[in-house]
Structure 1
Amino acid sequence: MIRDYFRIMMVNLTTGKTTIVELPGRGDYLGGAGLAAHLFDKYGHVDRDWDDPEQPLIFAIGPLTGYFPLMSKTCCAFRSPYHNQYTESYAGGKSALSLRFADLDALVVTGRAKRLTALCVGSRRVETRDVEYLRGFDAIHTGRVLRKMFPGSGRRSILRIGPAGENLSSYACINVDTFRHFGRMGGGTAMGAKNLKGICILGDRGFGLPEGKEYPKLYKEIFKQLTTTEMMAKYHGLGTAVNINPLNELKSLPWKNLQQTSSPEADGISGETFADDTLLRNAACAGCPVGCIHVGFVREQFQTNNQYLYRQVGYDYEPIFSCGGMLEVTDASDVLRILDVIEKEGLDCMSAGVALAWATEALEKGVVSTEETVLDLKWGDAETYMKAVELISRPPNEFYALIAKGTMRCAERYGGQDFACVLGQEMAGYATGEVFFVSEGLGFRHSHLDSGGYAYDQKHEDKDVKRALDFLVQDGRERIVLNCMVGCLFSRGVYKDDLLAEAMASVGYGELHGSVAEIGARVQKLRWRLRLRMGYRPDKVRIPKRYTEITTWKGPLDTDYMEALRAGYAARILEMGAPVDEPGDKEDD
């Protein structure tokens, strides 16, 4: 094997101490999601809250990072401020390849700096800088400062937070290289709690490629599959924004806080409209030949003259659904303008958009008044929504302080729980039906990417509970394997278990403790164990009433079927998370 252990950099912001740890377990956990869970199991604290300084913030890559195309993501793991339990988030950009070139499998940050700090790490360098003067700076401006502060080559990755992370909004994100994000569950908040404004990862070393004919031959085969299939062409072309019109036709597009599942005005924010009217360029994560990042532009006129300022804003389906359809904003440029403010403040765009949709309906129904919302929120009013985003990031009153902690937290205080579109966290953009709602509502990350529940709904009219549950568990396990490699999930149609095992062997990682599928199941159980030990009760989860009121292409939602799925999936989760002897497990605290 190339290296049968993980090389971990441990940085303690309280003491200023940095250590390199060589941790066994490559054959047990692969890397990525498996390594992150293993590290949290070893260094995390089940009996302390998310904001305890000694809780670790983990960035982990996989064994194939830098060796094969689309192995381009980093897993960020932490105890979430959203629900105070273990979670993960994923981002592309240059972070993964920078860690590989820094000769690290993971970076683990603990402690809390006395003042706002920026951290720079590489194979030959660890440095912290006092950046208290950056407090309140938006994420885009912060990125510019950090790039000047820590000069480097194209192997450098810049991670940073905006004011939302500093102010501990529960869904603050980590901006990665401007157009990518550790978006969901509050990674930016975890950084803010550590007084950590930014991280620069310097890829300041090289790494060798395997010798012999096997590796280059396999690389060429995989590269061909990933760049010649129609699936990947879709991601480069219109990107995931292409989903707007098909989901609208299927009556599966969340619209106006899910009061509707389709709209005749959806074409105004379709992928085709964005491409025709706003698309500036495509970009790609390091190590990816596809180029799925779509960058649009917004134009702002200066008040003093007739000159304009143009800004670049990344977009894909999820930002369009949350800041377009959910708010009934039907102009593509207006959607980008809202997203531009969200980017600067450093919020997760899905949570921010869905939270504002709930607030608009709550105001409309009289659940709250303008005394709470400050602004007169109205469907389609982009200017007001832009101002409201800043209030979520910098709360002026109790209402915004609560909504910054999560929509349901605010609804529990003021009312309106029935129409809060929350499935563990603010929903993703697929009103496809019962399987997806249960999958996201009870899922490990409460993410549409925990499994393909949204696709299952679109392909199956039957209501076979066991078949659907088997799919959720099996598909989830397959995705975990790719998350251990930390590959882009767009490539899951190519990187099946057998090919991943072959790729591992070609770079010298053939000696695994079980098959790739067995390791995936091991990691799946470990992740659930961690959440359950921190208080997660899937059997207590309830799905808000709004989800029982929708109609999709299959007709009205079947509440009996959804309840059977909910109870069955909760039981499966409890079974997967039952205590077992795992390599390296700690005793319960």
Structure 2
Amino acid sequence: MIRDFFRVMVVNLTTGKTNIVERDGRSEFLGGTGLAARLFQEFGHMDKDWDDPEQPLIFAIGPLTGYYPLMSKTCCAFRSPYHNEYSESYAGGKSALSLRFADLDALVIIGKAKRLTALCVGSRRVETRDVEYMRGFDALQTGRVLRKVFPGSGRRSILRIGPAGENRSAYACINVDTFRHFGRMGGGGVMGDKNLKAICILGDRGFDLPDNKEYPKLYKHIFKQLTTTEMMAKYHGLGTAVNIKPLNGLKSLPWKNLQQTSSPEADKISGETFADDTLLRNAACAGCPVGCIHVGFVREQFQANNQYLYRQVGYDYEPIFSCGGMLEVTEASEVLRILDVIEKEGLDCMSTGVALAWATEALEKGVISEEQTKVKLQWGDAETYMQAVEMIGRPTNEFYRLLAQGALKCAAEFGGEDFACVLGQEMAGYATGEVFFVSEGLGFRHSHLDSGGYAYDQKHEDKDVKRALDFLVDDARERIVLNCMVGCLFSRGVYKDELLAEAMDAVGYGGLNGKMAEIGDRVQRLRWRLRIGMGYDPRAVKIPKRFTEITTWKGPIDTEYLEALRTGYAARILEMGAPEKEEE
């Protein structure tokens, strides 16, 4: 049933009480990122730190979830342990569709359980289980146990954390249905702080599809666009791992802690190599016909009986860049072995790989000692990196405790800030130039997906500051609209404004057409107001020296252009996040 309000479940882990509340605002916030920000306004606390039990953990879906292909993501919002400010992360798997089948637009979790707890929610059920016996279980083991604890159909989604989340790492992730993650900004640490080991969402209720002629015809048209045109072929074929070769050719591939932007060894970990040597199968999020999830295999031999164990490990471009190129690990199977340990510990793979790259260079330069790292970190040494990942997930000394809070926080204590590859958080894999560095460094959630800054660098050799800033603001706003839906950003080439308007109309939300730009602007400003209200000052953001020392296909980084973009974007952000003017 189409409704103009939001149906929200609020679970209080401290009191054990659960409420279903209805909130207006569909025409103002749409859903997804807009709904999450609106709920944080209500349930969040601007004057309390991220680890205050009353701070909410929010999961929100959009108005088109379940109705169209690739409308398959969930927005997770929280006050981040990484910077103690408002942030978001996105994941697919079955999470969004399970919330839709549970008849919920959002799930809000507040409070803190007394003991390690698993939460199960559905349209007819709310249950908590004491799972203190699972403390220290890795994320994959946790998933196997929970599938038995909370049996269900294919509409069930299981979200869980590993030891890193229990230990409140600032970049602990939330594993979703094994191969998807709320990866960035530390959502897993928020769950760990709440003593919440896992969330099982049961889609135990159906929902009606639109009863008109337009909807099935439009669905078929969109399905065809997503499955038979070249537009999405990249994602199903080699996947985003295909980016390794072109970025290497453009001298934009971060390598060896960004000491290089290309390497003759890159072919050994290219998408083609992974497909030839490791690819086991493709998988997809619920409601997606594309199948962009690439699952490789790791084979481990047991010498005692000469038998092999095979494990499935998901990969795409970002894991390969961070745990391959940044660490100069040049065997596809070894990259997967590192990723397998990261998966079990419940860490974000990008932050983990980039943090280890910083630590390797810091050890090499004598900034830190082997006494602190406990193992001799060396470029290309996968075995040693696997040991270090476990110590990040389960810190054994002050060095690893700080490294689990971020490379720059560790560098602030020990030194080496100049070569910490951090742009708000550990960098994404695009050393494309000035626009991207500023986009990720100052962006709302410090993500390469906040805007297409990496694409702008590759298409523009000019250094028009105003043009670049206009692009960053406008592109971010357009992406926010899709994040309100909550659609996969891979589909943004298909869901253009006109098609999105048709899709909304066919399911009964046609009244919102013509308001999308206005909604995008409103949500963009609200998110910035929340973050700035918690202390964010974009003018204080620094781009570490390492980013000014590289050379891309356009030549050396232009530091004057970089600085003009940094100060200009900071001013734009402050303008967007200015307090609302009161009506006279």
TM-score scaled by structure 2? Answer: 0.99
- Partner SS for 1:96: helix
Identity %: 85
The root-mean-square deviation of aligned C-alpha atoms, in Å, is 1.1
Separation in 1, partners of 2:38, 2:498: 24
Residue deviations 1:223-281 (CA, integer Å, cap 9, x gap): 11111221311100000000000000000000000000000000010000000000000
Structure 1 residues 493 and 396, CA gap change in structure 2 (3 angstroms):
same
Structure 2 residue runs of 5 or longer lacking an equivalent are none
Indicate conservation of the 8 Å contact 1:497/1:517, yes or no.
Answer: no
In structure 2, the residue matched to 1:275 is: 275
Mapped pair 1:49 → 2:53: no
Instruction: Give the CA deviation at 1:215.
Output: 1.2
Alignment of 1:159-308 (within 5 A): 159-308=159-308
Match of 2:435 in 1: 435
Matched, 1:333 2:369: no
**Cα distance, 1:499 vs. partner?**
2.0
Unaligned runs of 5+ in 1: 584-589
- Check conservation: 2:504, 2:513, Cα contact below 8 A: no
Equivalent residue letter for 1:69? P
Residue 345 of structure 2 is matched in structure 1 by: 345
* Aligned equivalent of 1:152: 152
2:370 aligned residue: 370
Tell me, in whole angstroms, the C-alpha distance in 2 between the residues paired with 1:206 and 1:295.
30
In the alignment, what sits opposite 2:504? 504
Instruction: Give the corresponding residue for 2:535.
Output: 535
Within 2, Cα distance between the matches of 1:296 and 1:5? 42
| Contact preservation (8 Å) 1:28, 1:512 | no
Which residue of the partner structure matches residue 85 of structure 2?
85
Once the 2 structures are TM-superposed, how far is the Cα of residue 498 of structure 1 from its aligned partner?
A: 2.6
What is the alpha-carbon distance in structure 2 between the residues aligned to residue 581 and residue 198 of structure 1? Answer: 41
Partner of 1:394: 394
Hey, what does 2:552 align to over in structure 1?
552
Deviation at 1:296, TM superposition (A): 0.2
Q: Give per-residue Cα distances to partners, 1:77-121, cap 9 Å, x unaligned.
A: 000000000000000000000000000000000000000000000
CA distance in 2, matches of 1:581, 1:62: 28
Aligned to 1:33: 33
Secondary structure, in 3 states, of the residue corresponding to 2:71?
Answer: coil
Q: Find the residue that maps to 1:21 and give its secondary structure.
A: strand
Alpha-carbon spacing, 1:224–1:379, altered in 2? closer, same or farther (3 Å): same
* CA shift for structure 1 position 511: 2.4
Task: Give the match for residue 586 of structure 1.
Answer: none
Q: How many residues align?
A: 583
- The SS at the match of 2:493 is coil
Deviation at 1:128, TM superposition (A): 0.2
Deviations 1:490-516 (A, max 9, x none): 000111223222211211112239611
Q: For 1:346, give the aligned amino acid.
A: G
**Contact preservation (8 Å) 2:9, 2:18:** yes
What is the DSSP-based 3-state SS (H/G/I as helix, E as strand, rest coil) of the residue aligned with 1:511? helix
Superposition pairs of residues 574-585 of structure 1, within 5 angstroms: 574-580=574-580
Q: Distance in 1 between matches of 2:231 and 2:329?
A: 29
Q: State the alpha-carbon separation in 2 of the partners of residues 495 and 74 from structure 1.
A: 17
Deviates more, 1:153-162 or 1:504-513: 504-513
Q: Give the alignment of 1:517-536 within 5 angstroms.
A: 517-536=517-536
Amino acid at match of 1:145: V
Displacement after TM superposition at 1:548 (Å) = 0.2
2:5 counterpart residue number: 5
- Could you tell me how far apart the structure 1 residues matched to 2:578 and 2:263 are? 44
In 2, Cα distance between the equivalents of 1:459 and 1:214?
Answer: 38
1:291 CA displacement: 0.2
CA deviation map 1:493-541 (0-9, x unaligned) = 1112232222112111122396111101110000000000000000110
The answer on 1:21 being equivalent to 2:21 is yes
Partner of 1:491: 491
TM-fit CA distance, 1:582: 9.6
Q: Is the 8 A contact 1:431 1:552 kept in 2?
A: yes
Q: Distance in 2 between matches of 1:228 and 1:515?
A: 31
Query: Deviation digits for residues 359-416 of structure 1, max 9, x if unmatched?
Result: 0000000101101111100000000000000011111111101010110000000000
Determine if contact 1:424/1:442 at 8 Å carries over to the other structure: yes
Inter-partner Cα distance in structure 2 for 1:580 and 1:211: 41
* Counterpart in the other structure of 2:447: 447
Secondary structure at the residue paired with 1:191?
helix
The answer (yes or no) to whether the contact 1:513–1:519 under 8 Å persists in 2 is no
Compute the displacement of 1:222 (Å). 1.3
3-state SS of paired residue (2:129):
strand
TM-score between both structures, scaled by the size of structure 1: 0.98
Segment of structure 1 superposing worse, 445-454 or 209-218: 209-218
d(CA) in 2 for partners of 1:91, 1:548: 32
- Secondary structure (helix, strand or coil) at the match of 1:347 reads coil
The answer for the alignment partner of 2:118 in structure 1 is 118
Quick check: 1:188–1:346 contact (8 Å CA) kept in 2?
yes
**Matches for 1:553-568 after TM superposition, within 5 Å:** 553-568=553-568
